[in-house]
Amino acid sequence: MAQNDIVDTTAAYSSPNASPLTLTSTPDTALVAAAKALTSARYVVAMTGAGLSAESGIPTFRGDDGLWAKFGEPRMDGYKRFLDDPHGWWRREVTQTQDPYVLELRRALEQAQPNPAHHALAGMERSGVVKTVISQNVDGLEERAGLTRLIEVHGNRSKYRCIGCGRRTPRDTFVPPAELPPPCSECGSIVKYDSVMFGEPVPPERMAAARAEIDRADCVLAIGTSVTVRPVSGLLWIAEAQGATVIEVNPNETRLSGVCDVVVRAKAADALPGLVSLLSAGT
């Protein structure tokens, strides 16, 4: 997720029904409680955040070791600057002269592989436990792990997208022409990375699809999300307000933790394979 890959971040939503709920005390008992909640649920939706990607070696933005601490926080008008000068943006892409933190992030993305949590989540989809995954990540690792019912709200860096008709094209099959910016082969509009830039609205069809899944869910599994990136973070508060069971898997406390029914305070790569084992055993 680079300067052209992330929507603006602001304060999280406040939950209208914030009240003390049951928090499990140890990872083991939390996993058992999570497995029971998933087993008894009718329609489970998972939501993944940057913490899941970090476990595959992709650096985060914030924090003491984040890219912004190292390189400084970028400007938040990336999409406007792209629209003002798409030729210049594409020229920097072709010549690899983007900001230093962008280049470092891309090197990490090129080397990253799905981790055990990605594969466990894909197994939960195959078994029918998880119906849909709403991803806030742009690295494409969930797709590579085999997830198929996947809503990539912020896009996928392995694809390009036309800003006119929304047509998505895999990067490995798209050859930018000599004339920049490249036009869409369908409608002639400008093509950019599929990932959402700073200041770029999330494609409305993706938010609509994600909201529809949240409305169907009676259980939501929140994995590695800090619950700060809008508008997607609001979906978790909507699920909680609608009475869904909310399970959090995160090594760190978040703004969501206090309203969750179950909190698994562990890394996803450790917790999710264990959760799959419990589900397979019929816990």
Q: Please report the pLDDT score of residue 28 as a whole number.
A: 83
Question: With 60 as the cut, is the pLDDT of residue 18 above it?
Answer: no
Q: What is the pLDDT of residues 170-223, one digit of tens each?
A: 988 766 667 788 889 899 999 999 999 989 999 999 999 999 999 999 999 999
pLDDT the model gives residue 162: 95
Residue 224, Cβ neighbours under 10 Å: how many? 25
97-127 pLDDT, tens digit each = 777 777 778 888 889 999 999 999 999 999 9
| The pLDDT value given to residue 200 | 94
**Per-residue confidence band for 27, with pLDDT thresholds at 50, 70 and 90:** low
* Domains of the chain by start residue, with CATH: 7-57+113-157+202-283 (3.40.50.1220), 59-111 (no CATH), 159-194 (no CATH)
> Would residue 154 show up in a list of annotated catalytic residues for this protein?
yes
The residue whose two tokens read 């085999």 is 146
Q: How far is CA 239 from CA 207, 262, 282, in A?
A: 14, 14, 26
Mean pLDDT of the chain: 86
Q: Of 18 and 36, which is predicted with more confidence? A: 36
